[in-house]
Amino acid sequence: MTPGESFPLAPLCTLGVGGPARFFADATDEATVHEAWAWARRRGIPLWILGGGSNLVVADAGVAGMVLRVGLRGISTFPSGEAVEVTAAAGEPWDAFVELVVERGWQGLECLSGIPGLVGATPIQNVGAYGQEVSDTVVAVRVLDRRSDEVVTLAPDACGFAYRNSVFKSRVPDRYVVLGVTYRLRPGGAPTARNPELRRHLEARGIGTPTLTDVRASVLAIRRAKSMVLDPDDENRRSCGSFFVNPVVTPDDLRRIEGVAADPAMPRWPEPDGRTKLSAAWLIEHAGFRRGDAAGPVGLSTRHALAVVAHEGASAADVVAFARRVRAQVEARFGVRLVPEPVFWGFGRLEDGLPADSGTGG
């Protein structure tokens, strides 16, 4: 393996900003993953794992160490009682994988249609949308454990799944390299259509008893209307999708926020633990922002207040500065501190997930 040097990362990320990787390599098999890890370890440098780049902000100074783009491919299936277990390699494109299982009539992932990125990222982020999360169906995650230098398979309980979070993302983010994921799906199962927005879209199409294909089509249409699918002709295409996660608040905080908002129509969804999930997009818009508002070359999507868009000439520092402004204004208005959804490479200290520095380097 001979890594490239000073390799540009911005073209590999949907946001399209950021500096180069000191070293860069592609891995299309597990042997190369092992080799890259050994190469980086011998030199005492960090190994960064890149997938589809759809949930990533790279600092303008780039990243030290090696970036390894994991492109492992392959899908296998085997029956498991009344279910089917489907294993996909980490480099499989996520939406193509969802399309495949929907076409085969396997229920469990249909609401996750249209999400950019690769299979390997889905357990890290515990990807979810429109009433489903991958943790609902994940039964195994095959990983390279960098502590033991062994390939192991983690059961769901070991993954620490939480709302848009997992052990891979927050607890030990530098320990595991995801190589493949196994999902348990239901052949012939009825689609998940609990989400109110999804139900309204299906009803508007005149569909009372939707199929998996119907649900996928509606999810794609909803996401496309919000610029939440990758489209080279979309003015909002350079984004990470949802930049902030929906906050989950305690009953006391909810009462306080309701008093501040003074709007009974404020969206809210009860959680099983007694807390309540709020809409980050609603909070942003009611903190004084409008869709399309911008500060220089960075602003909100014209279609969805939760997406931060980088326009021509934008830098990673611009993106972080704008995100800080949004968060500060929401916190000043509602007393809620939003937490970003993307991961940040090459920055210094993080404050509740958002860089405290500009990442311009030196």
- Top pLDDT among 217 and 2 is at 217
Instruction: Answer yes or no: is pLDDT of 357 > 90.
Output: no
Q: Is residue 98 part of a domain?
A: yes
- Residue 238: predicted pLDDT: 96
In angstroms, the first-to-last Cα distance of the chain is: 29
Domain with 90, as residue range(s), is 75-225
Could you tell me if 134 and 248 lie in one domain? no
Q: Is residue 251 part of a domain?
A: yes
Q: Is residue 15 part of a domain?
A: yes
Instruction: Answer yes or no: is pLDDT of 108 > 60.
Output: yes
Inter-axis angle of helices 94-103 and 212-225, to 10 degrees?
150
Q: Which of 191, 225, 259 is the last residue of a domain?
A: 225
Number of domains within the chain: 3
Q: Which of 16, 51, 70 is the last residue of a domain?
A: 70
- Residue 358: predicted pLDDT: 73
Q: Is residue 360 part of a domain?
A: no
Instruction: Answer yes or no: is pLDDT of 305 > 90.
Output: yes
Q: Is residue 122 part of a domain?
A: yes
Task: Confirm whether 110 is a catalytic residue.
Answer: no
What is the distance between the alpha carbons of residues 196 and 198, in angstroms, rounded to a whole number?
5
What is the distance between the alpha carbons of residues 9 and 53, in angstroms, rounded to a whole number?
9
The catalytically annotated residue of 22, 142, 164, 216 is: 164
Mean predicted confidence (pLDDT) in 297-304: 97
Could you tell me if 79 and 31 lie in one domain? no
Q: Check which CATH number belongs to the domain holding 199 and give it.
A: 3.30.465.10
Could you tell me if 11 and 79 lie in one domain? no
Mean predicted confidence (pLDDT) in 52-58: 95
Could you tell me if 206 and 266 lie in one domain? no
The catalytically annotated residue of 135, 242, 301, 315 is: 242
Cβ count within 10 A of residue 314: 21
Task: Confirm whether 164 is a catalytic residue.
Answer: yes
Give residue 225's identity as a one-letter amino acid code. Answer: A
Pairing outcome for strands 268-270 and 132-133: unpaired
Q: Is residue 232 part of a domain?
A: no
What is the distance between the alpha carbons of residues 103 and 93, in angstroms, rounded to a whole number?
16
- Residue 361: predicted pLDDT: 55
Could you tell me if 206 and 258 lie in one domain? no
Instruction: Single out the residue of 293, 313, 310, 345 nearest to residue 22, CA to CA.
Output: 345
Could you tell me if 108 and 174 lie in one domain? yes
Q: Check which CATH number belongs to the domain holding 40 and give it.
A: 3.30.43.10
Instruction: Answer yes or no: is pLDDT of 127 > 50.
Output: yes
Could you tell me if 93 and 175 lie in one domain? yes
Could you tell me if 245 and 337 lie in one domain? yes
Mean predicted confidence (pLDDT) in 36-43: 96
Q: Is residue 161 part of a domain?
A: yes
Q: Check: CB of residue 268 under 8 Å from CB of residue 278.
A: yes
Could you tell me if 143 and 218 lie in one domain? yes
Task: Confirm whether 279 is a catalytic residue.
Answer: no
Instruction: Answer yes or no: is pLDDT of 362 > 50.
Output: no
Q: Is residue 231 part of a domain?
A: no
Average pLDDT value for the chain: 96
Query: Tens digit of pLDDT for each residue in 158-199?
Result: 999 999 999 999 889 899 999 999 999 999 999 999 999 999
Could you tell me if 142 and 185 lie in one domain? yes
Q: Check which CATH number belongs to the domain holding 251 and give it.
A: 3.90.78.10
Q: Which of 168, 197, 225 is the last residue of a domain?
A: 225
Could you tell me if 92 and 218 lie in one domain? yes
Instruction: Answer yes or no: is pLDDT of 263 > 60.
Output: yes
| pLDDT band at 56; cut points 50, 70, 90 | very high
- Residue 170: predicted pLDDT: 87
Could you tell me if 188 and 274 lie in one domain? no
Mean predicted confidence (pLDDT) in 84-96: 98
Please give the backbone phi and psi of residue 198, each rounded to the nearest 5 degrees, phi first.
-65, -45
